[in-house]
Structure 1
Amino acid sequence: MCKKEKPDDFITTACAIDLGSNSALILIGREANGQIEVVYEDMRTTRLGEGVSETGKISIKAINRAIDTISTFKEAIKEHSVTEIHCIGTSALRCAENRKQVIDEIEKKTGIGVEVIDEEEEARLSFISATHSLNIEGRCIVLDVGSYSSQLSWGAGTEIEGTLSLPIGCLILRETFTDEEAGYDTYAIESAIKGGIEDSGMKERADTLVLVGGSAVAGASLLLGLSEYSRRIIHGISVGLDEMEDMAVSLALMSEDAIRQRMAFEPERADIIVPGLIVITRFMRVLDYNIARVSWWGLTYGMLVEIL
């Protein structure tokens, strides 16, 4: 994904779509005075990765949910006269045995092709997104917790130095690190994270830890008591390890219906918010950070930085 040479008077309105394992996100923007001007954004829950870890395949129902969502996104694409469209797929599509069938069906029904990116590219785009949107100058680690994997990326300023992907996410956590009587095995989670970090060669501590992804944004919204998502309030906010852990414990004691009512901003995430917060807090403990900043923007913003 790279910038293309265009005439001086040509204005690119670009669209970035992230077809993730839990949600699909769209971001439409254009370059304005060296900055990205966002003109449209939306997020829909598709659960594309639902059941992939058990069956190895993306279900017909999940494929249809993705097609319906992208078809809805196309209305915004037309309304904003988009000149360039990029759509990426991540963990669920990487793992699915029927990946080609899914991609072909989506393109056939919507006219939009999907590029499945690898873990390194996913981490790189998260790093670009966080460091550009938050104007980070010092050393930084970016943690993007997804449904089936989590990506770490690190570097100085906007220059990335390394990436790491671990098969630890909010959906897979329920299937791999859970004991029926004791709940989530946090020791096993931390051990898996430590092992991955040691093997990656990441040694130097960074000035800032940035959290990216739906679990981080939802967690920050819960801590603030928001009834609806607010980019203005959430983007760049600092959250503490202790308060995130307390929130996870509090929610774990509640019924799913009660959590759904509390999460009016995204009730569809009610069944995965607790494992999502557990993954975030285990990473924070292993990396030894008591405070982290939250980025509203994820992969789609990084894509627009690359395109524009």
Structure 2
Amino acid sequence: MIAAVDCGTNTIKLFVGTPTRAVLRTSRMVRLGQDVDRTGRLADAALERAFAALDEYAVLLREHDVERVRFCATSATRDAANADVFRAGVLERLGVEPEVLSGAEEAQLSFAGAVRNLRHEPALPVLVVDIGGGSTELVLGDRDPEGGPGGALVAREAHSMDVGSVRLTERHLHSDPPTPDEVAACVADVEAALDASPVDPARAAQVVCVAGTALTVGAGALGLPAFDPARLDQAVLPRGAVGDEVARLLALSVEERRALPVMHPGRADVIGAGAVILDRVLARAGVDAITLSVADILDGIAASLA
């Protein structure tokens, strides 16, 4: 058995199984990136939450006789001055040194995970959008020409933008619900990041969206009675339905969002900023619909252990 761990700004996810098939997939929302944008450090309370989750994961690894583990940490750990405290805690609990991925490495793994289970021949090039708590990955890819028409999809261009749901909420969205001026400031940050991005969403023929923000927006747009990964995976959503759901979420208070049947309680306070990022990326992409994928960076990390 192998295990892959994706430690992001908001969530720590665990995959246990073979490099191509999960027997266990779980996550814990620990908000490791709490206040990192403001302080440049991982907060003591955030470290406690993360270490409590890793203690649980250590038990699961032993129960499944895991022999190899790859632990990848992303935006919050890249930005924190005291990341060494976190690294030591991971090593103590899981016996593995965490890899702090660069933005480019994070984007490449996100693409590899997102496209591996596409059920239909994609329109090319494909843009994978991975909105996290601290950063957003944009990855544009197409077929490997050496593999012929049915060759593997490979990432060609990747960029990690320093805009994410937690980062932008802490920076701009202080009212509940956010005011129009706060939303406008959030939009301006995202637009500036997109202006500076070498990966242009307008070049995409198809957009595949992964991770919690996009899946939660998709679940709401579909009117699901609960968050159901099986119904979300490979779902195709019209651009208009996504835009309507984004507007609805921004108009709700945190408590109203938390009461939605598809909403994880740990995401309710930051989903507004994540939704803004999704909306602005899709506005530039100009596609009529998006494809949702439950497979994401976690699957890319697992596949790298093959």
Q: Residue 262 of structure 1: SS of its match in structure 2?
A: coil
User: Aligned letter for 2:117?
Assistant: S
Deviation track 1:83-136 (CA, whole Å, cap 9, x = no partner) reads 211111000000001011221123224434211100000000011011112155
Seen in structure 2, the aligned counterparts of structure 1 residues 282 and 202 have a Cα distance that, compared at 3 Å, is closer
- Establish whether residue 281 from structure 1 lines up as the match of residue 276 from structure 2: no
Task: Spell out the pairing of 1:75-154 with structure 2 (5 A cutoff).
Answer: 75-134=59-118, 137=122, 138-154=124-140
Question: Cα deviations across residues 2-42 of structure 1 (Å, max 9, x unaligned)?
Answer: xxxxxxxxxxx2110011100010011215xxxx2210000
Q: Verify: 1:54 aligned to 2:56, yes or no.
A: no
Aligned to 2:188: 188
**Aligned residue identity for 2:134:** Y
**Over aligned residue pairs, what C-alpha RMSD do you find?**
2.1
1:159 correspondence with 2:157 = no
What amino acid sits opposite 1:140 in the alignment?
Answer: V
Q: Contact 2:204/2:285 (CA < 8 Å) preserved in 1? A: no
Q: Following the alignment from structure 2 to structure 1, what is the Cα–Cα distance between the partners of residues 286 and 187? A: 15
Asked if structure 2 preserves the Cα contact closer than 8 Å seen for 1:52 and 1:92, the reply is yes
CA displacement, residues 199-258 of structure 1 (integer Å, 9 cap, x when unaligned): x16588232111112101111122223343322111111122222221122222222111
Classify 1:297/1:262 alpha carbon distance in 2 versus 1 (closer, same or farther; 3 Å): same
Contact 2:205 2:287 in 1 (8 A): no
Write the distance in 2 (CA, Å) between the matches of 1:225 and 1:121. 35
Equivalents in 1 of 2:98, 2:84: separation in Å?
10
Q: Displacement, 1:65?
A: 0.9
- Partner SS state of residue 58, structure 1: coil
Aligned to 1:16: 4
Match for residue 265 of structure 2 among 264, 267, 283: 267
2:163 maps to 168
Q: Structure 1 stretch 148-157 or stretch 244-253: which is displaced more? A: 244-253
Name the SS of the counterpart of 1:94 in structure 2.
Answer: helix
The answer for the alignment partner of 1:5 in structure 2 is none
Whole-Å Cα distance in 2 between the matches of residues 300 and 234 of structure 1?
A: 17
Match of 1:250 in 2: 248
Q: Which structure 1 residue ranges, 5 or more long, are not aligned?
A: 1-12
The one-letter amino acid of 2:182's match is: G
Verify the 8 A CA contact 2:246 2:279 in the aligned structure 1.
no
Separation in structure 2 between the aligned mates of residue 203 and residue 263 of structure 1, nearest angstrom: 31
Distance 1:227 1:267 in 2: 16
Paired residue type of 1:145: I
Equivalent residue, structure 1, for 2:146: none
| Aligned ranges 1:182-261 → 2 under 5 Å | 182-185=181-184, 188-189=188-189, 191-197=191-197, 200=198, 202=200, 205-261=203-259
Counting aligned pairs with the same residue, the percent is 24
Q: What is the Cα deviation at residue 261 of structure 1? A: 1.0
Aligned length: 290
- Kindly provide the CA deviation profile for residues 169-211 of structure 1, in whole angstroms up to 9, marking residues without a partner as x: 11222244558662312651453144123xx165882321111
TM-score where L is the length of structure 1: 0.87
Look up the SS of the partner of 1:53 in the other structure: helix
Partner of 2:163: helix, strand, or coil? Answer: coil
Structure 2 CA distance for partners of 1:172 and 1:291, relative to 1, 3 Å: same
> Does the 8 A contact of 2:127 with 2:201 survive in 1?
no
